[in-house]
C-alpha cells in the first residue's frame, strides 16, 4: 500500500466546502438571491475566500489539472457573485430616477446644446428654403412619409390632418408604433456617435430639416399656429429625448476622438456608460411622447390645450432634469 499523496489529503479535507459553495452559487445564479436563507447568503463570501485560498494552495502543490481548473472556474463564479452589483433592481430603478438620470443630463449639457443647435439649424435652413421655394419640400421629406401633405395639397386637406379623429380604434397601436419607431431611431443616434460623432450630427440635422420643411408648408397656408400646437404637444418631449440621444452619441464619439488626459479606452468606456444612462431616460421620455402623440394629440383638438400641455411638459422636464438638487454638490465632490 503506498502513502496517500499530500495533495490528495488536501483535497479530501476541503472538498465539502467547495461543493457547498458550488451548490449555493447554482441556486443564487438560477433565480434571485431570495432562494437563499440569510445564513447561506452570509456563508458565500466566507466559502469564497476559503476556496480562493484552496486555489492558491492547489496551484502551488497539486498537479491534478482537473482540480485546479475546477477551483479556478469556481472561484471566478464566486468572485463575480461576491463582487457583483449589491443593489436590488428596485433600488437601482429608484436611484436612476432620483439621481443618476438628472445628474447625467446635467453633466452632458454641452453635448445637449450642440445636439439641439444642429437640429435647430436644420429646421431653420429647411424652413427658409421651403418657404421661398416649395420645390425644396420634397428634398427634405420623402414622399412615403409626406402622406398627402405636399405643397400641392389644399389648405382644407392640410387642416384635416391636424384635427383628424379618424381611426379612433387604432390609437393604441399607433402610439405603440410611434414609440418603438422613435426609440429605435434614438438608439441608432446613440450608437452612431461611436463613428466619431459625424453620423449622429447628420441624423440630428436631417431630423431638424424635416421639421422645418413641414412647418414651412403649413405656415405658407396660414396654419402656422395650429401646426405649432399639433407638433409641440408631444414634440417638446420627443424632440428633447431625441436631442438627449444625440448628446449621448456625441459624448462617445468626442471622448473617442479626444480622450484628453484619460486613456482612450477608459475614456470611451466612461462616455459609453454615461450615454447609456441617459439613453434609459430617453426611452422613458419617448414612451411618454408616444402616448402624447398617439392618444393625446388625437383626442385633444383644441390648439390652446395642446400648447398648454406643451408648455407644461417643457417646464416639467426642465425642472426635473436641470434643477439643482440639495446634496448634489457634496456627492459630486466625492
Partner 1 sequence: MTDTYVPPSPLDTHRIRELVTPEGVDLQLRLADAGERAGAFLIDAAVIVGVLIGATIALALIAVVVRAPFMPQAMVVVWLLGFFLLRNFYFIGFELSGRAATPGKRMIGLRVASRNGGPLTADAIFARNALREIEVYLPMSFILANAGGLGGWMVTAGLVWSGVFALFPLFNRDRLRAGDLAAGTWVVRAPKRRLGIELARRAEAEAPFAFTAAQIGAYGEAELQVLEDVLRSNNSRVVADVAMRIRRKIEWTSTPGERDGAFLDAYYAALRGRLETGMLFGRRRRDKHDRPV
Q: How far apart are CA 64 and CA 33, in angstroms?
A: 33
DSSP string over 5-63: PHHHHHHHHHHHHHHHHHHHHHHHHHS-GGGS-HHHHHHHHHHHHHHHHHHHHHHHH--
Q: How far apart are CA 100 and CA 90, in angstroms?
A: 14
Q: How far apart are CA 152 and CA 310, in angstroms?
A: 30
**8 A C-beta contact, residue 255 and residue 271:** yes
Q: Site map for partner 1, 202-221, x if CB under 8 A?
A: --------------------
Q: Is 85 in the site for partner 1 (CB under 8 A)?
A: yes
For the bound state, the minimum distance from the C-beta of residue 57 to partner 1, rounded and expressed in Å, comes to: 11
How crowded is the C-beta side of 19, counted as CA atoms within 13 Å? 6
For the bound state, the minimum distance from the C-beta of residue 43 to partner 1, rounded and expressed in Å, comes to: 17
For the bound state, the minimum distance from the C-beta of residue 31 to partner 1, rounded and expressed in Å, comes to: 8
User: Applying CB under 8 A, which part among 27-35, 111-119, 149-157, 320-328 lies near partner 1?
Assistant: 27-35
Q: Is 266 in the site for partner 1 (CB under 8 A)?
A: yes
Q: Is 258 in the site for partner 1 (CB under 8 A)?
A: no
Q: Which of 64, 124, 138, 159 binds partner 1 (CB under 8 A)?
A: 64
For the bound state, the minimum distance from the C-beta of residue 294 to partner 1, rounded and expressed in Å, comes to: 10
Closer to partner 1 by CB, 26 or 331: give it: 26
Q: Which of 97, 163, 177, 258 binds partner 1 (CB under 8 A)?
A: 177
Q: Is 55 in the site for partner 1 (CB under 8 A)?
A: yes
Q: Which three cell numbers stand for residue 272?
A: 459609453
User: Applying CB under 8 A, which part among 121-129, 180-188, 210-218, 310-318 lies near partner 1?
Assistant: 180-188
Residue list 125-154, contact with partner 1 (CB under 8 A):
none
Report how many residues bind partner 1 under the rule CB under 8 A.
Answer: 77
Q: Is 164 in the site for partner 1 (CB under 8 A)?
A: no
Q: Which of 180, 222, 257, 323 binds partner 1 (CB under 8 A)?
A: 180
Q: Is 277 in the site for partner 1 (CB under 8 A)?
A: yes
Q: How far apart are CA 47 and CA 22, in angstroms?
A: 10
Closer to partner 1 by CB, 188 or 314: give it: 188
User: Applying CB under 8 A, which part among 131-139, 147-155, 166-174, 203-211 lies near partner 1?
Assistant: 166-174
Closer to partner 1 by CB, 144 or 154: give it: 144
Which pairs with CB-CB distance under 8 Å and at least 24 residues apart come from 75-80? 75/48, 75/51, 77/25, 77/29, 78/21, 78/25, 78/44, 78/47, 78/48, 78/51, 78/52, 79/48, 79/52
Terminal CA-CA length for the chain: 65
Q: Is 233 in the site for partner 1 (CB under 8 A)?
A: no
Q: How far apart are CA 15 and CA 66, in angstroms?
A: 13
Q: Is 49 in the site for partner 1 (CB under 8 A)?
A: yes
Q: Which three cell numbers stand for residue 193?
A: 456617435
Q: Is 62 in the site for partner 1 (CB under 8 A)?
A: yes
Closer to partner 1 by CB, 217 or 248: give it: 248
Report the chain's C-alpha Rg in angstroms: 29
Amino acid at each position: 500500500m503506498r502513502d496517500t499523496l499530500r495533495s490528495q489529503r488536501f483535497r479530501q479535507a476541503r472538498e465539502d466546502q467547495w461543493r457547498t459553495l458550488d451548490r449555493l452559487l447554482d441556486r443564487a445564479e438560477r433565480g434571485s438571491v431570495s432562494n437563499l436563507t440569510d445564513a447561506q447568503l452570509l456563508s458565500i463570501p466566507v466559502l469564497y475566500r476559503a476556496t480562493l485560498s484552496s486555489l492558491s494552495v492547489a496551484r502551488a502543490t497539486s498537479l491534478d489539472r482537473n482540480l485546479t481548473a475546477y477551483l479556478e472556474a469556481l472561484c471566478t463564479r464566486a468572485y463575480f457573485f461576491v463582487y457583483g452589483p449589491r443593489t436590488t433592481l428596485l433600488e437601482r430603478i429608484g436611484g436612476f430616477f432620483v439621481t443618476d438620470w438628472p445628474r447625467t443630463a446635467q453633466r452632458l449639457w454641452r453635448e445637449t446644446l450642440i445636439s439641439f443647435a444642429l437640429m435647430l439649424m436644420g429646421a431653420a435652413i429647411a424652413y427658409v428654403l421651403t418657404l421661398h421655394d416649395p420645390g425644396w419640400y420634397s428634398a427634405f421629406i420623402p414622399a412615403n412619409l409626406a402622406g398627402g401633405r405636399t405643397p400641392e395639397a389644399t389648405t382644407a386637406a392640410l387642416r384635416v390632418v391636424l384635427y383628424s379623429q379618424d381611426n379612433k380604434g387604432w390609437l393604441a397601436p399607433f402610439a405603440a408604433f410611434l414609440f418603438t419607431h422613435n426609440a429605435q431611431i434614438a438608439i441608432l443616434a446613440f450608437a452612431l456617435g461611436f463613428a466619431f460623432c459625424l453620423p449622429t450630427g447628420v441624423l440630428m440635422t436631417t431630423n431638424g430639416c424635416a421639421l422645418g420643411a413641414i412647418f414651412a408648408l403649413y405656415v405658407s397656408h396660414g396654419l402656422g399656429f395650429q401646426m405649432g400646437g399639433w407638433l409641440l404637444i408631444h414634440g417638446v418631449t420627443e424632440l428633447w429625448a431625441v436631442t438627449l440621444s444625440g448628446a449621448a452619441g456625441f459624448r462617445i464619439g468626442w471622448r473617442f476622438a479626444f480622450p484628453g488626459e484619460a486613456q482612450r479606452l477608459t475614456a470611451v468606456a466612461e462616455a459609453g456608460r454615461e450615454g447609456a444612462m441617459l439613453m434609459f431616460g430617453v426611452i422613458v421620455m419617448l414612451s411618454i411622447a408616444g402616448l402624447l402623440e398617439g392618444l393625446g394629440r388625437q383626442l385633444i383638438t383644441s390648439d390652446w390645450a395642446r400648447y398648454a400641455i406643451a408648455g407644461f411638459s417643457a417646464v416639467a422636464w426642465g425642472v426635473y432634469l436641470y434643477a439643482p438638487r440639495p446634496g448634489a454638490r457634496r456627492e459630486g465632490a466625492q
